Amino acid sequence: MVNDKTALRSRLLAARAAMSPEQRQQAALALGERALALLPDRLPAVVAGYVSVGAEPGTRALLDALRTRGVRVLLPVLLPDNDLDWGVYGGAETLVRAGRGLWEPGGARLGVQAVCEAGLVLLPGLAVDPAGVRLGRGGGSYDRVLERLAAAGSAAPLVTLLYDQEVLPSVPAEPHDRRVDAAVTPSKTYVFNDATAQAAELS
């Protein structure tokens, strides 16, 4: 299982690295528009997001659009033990460069439990399948976040942001994996049904 995940991660990361800057920029703009369209008319008061880095599907336009609409956007802060603290996004000019090439919010830290305030949680990932199984990078940071949300009884939808080619027929799963509720790509939105383990593709 571990070897399967490692090989798949390597293949997906190589495909991302092969994309041109122009392709990434176009995908980021389309992804932001589609993700906003998925949200209800009444936006959540708090959204937990993240700042994309490198070849990840771009999130900055989406973060700014949420903030402009009055949403309190929480961003992760990586702790030494790979857990995630959280801070409030105050605009691109307030981001600070941190370890591992990450961008984090400046200002006060809110604690690891702050994510439980979110009415929507945006998750990074490398792939997802029709059962909502998400493949992360393997660091375990978001596994802890998802466990924390479950323990708090959070009903916040879990949405992963990907490129079109990263919605796969299957992704290796482990018993502790928590499925996501939806995936957004630049051209499609998928909502996952736990009962049938199938994805409903929205236009």
Overall domain count for the chain: 1
Task: Annotate 152-172 with DSSP letters as a single string.
Answer: TT----EEEE--GGGB-S---
Q: Does residue 198 surpass a pLDDT of 80?
A: no
pLDDT tens digit sequence for 120-171: 999 999 999 999 999 988 888 999 999 999 999 999 999 999 999 999 999 9
pLDDT of residue 197: 43
Does the predicted TM-score (pTM) go above 0.85?
A: yes
pLDDT tens digit sequence for 20-67: 999 999 999 999 888 888 776 678 899 999 999 999 999 999 999 999
pLDDT tens digit sequence for 83-108: 999 999 999 999 999 887 899 999 99
Q: Does residue 199 surpass a pLDDT of 60?
A: no
CATH of the domain at 134: 3.40.50.10420
pLDDT of residue 138: 80
As a whole number of angstroms, the distance between CA 148 and CA 169 comes to: 28
pLDDT of residue 2: 56
Percentages (nearest 5) of helix, strand, coil residues in the chain = 35, 25, 45
Q: Does residue 14 surpass a pLDDT of 90?
A: yes
State which residues form the domain around 21.
Answer: 2-202
pLDDT of residue 35: 86
